[in-house]
Amino acid sequence: MVNKEVLLTPEGLKKLEAELEELKTVKRREVAQRISASLEFGDISENAEYDDAKREQAFVEGRIITLEKLLRNAKIINTDDDDDETVVSIGKKITLKDLQTQDIVEYQLVGSAEADPAALKISNESPVGQAILGKTCGTIVEVEVLDGVLQYEIVKVAK
């Protein structure tokens, strides 16, 4: 499998590094203690505590491997280096106006590893992200969704 470049903002990098540190220093120890404690219950063939702790251990180790790979392939996007403040690019905050509902929402455009729609961080690989990337203020973009086509106007682009 080819290692894909992972686009991250400086804040996204810090967040992933903090998660990795937490998993390696705290979670690993907690899971190891749970496994050790569950072994005291005796027969592991019918030990739900042991099975649960081993599943959690597998999840933690898998997440550590994933984060290490993401960080190894990280490319930091710094909007301070961007000369053109009017063009939508990764790391910038974009204010969009839904032309059907007239709702206005501000998103930050980020790489897929950092995307969190609940925190209004959308991926450059999402339909909206793809539609606005490289566009400027005042541009109207169309986004195909299951129910049809949505139209947004790019109202503001900020670092």
pLDDT at position 20: 97
Question: Which of 131, 85, 135, 91 is CA-nearest to residue 109?
Answer: 91
pLDDT at position 81: 62
> In sequence order, what are the residues at sequence separation of 6 or more whose Cβ sits closer than 8 angstroms to the Cβ of residue 101?
none
pLDDT at position 88: 93
pLDDT at position 62: 96
Residues lower than pLDDT 50 in the chain: 1
pLDDT at position 1: 43
pLDDT at position 40: 79
User: Which tokens is 93 given?
Assistant: 């905050």
pLDDT at position 80: 67
pLDDT in tens, 96-127: 999 999 999 999 999 999 999 999 999 999 99
Full set of structural domains in the chain with CATH: 6-76 (1.10.287.180), 79-158 (3.10.50.30)
- Measure the CA–CA gap between 118 and 128, rounded to whole angstroms: 15
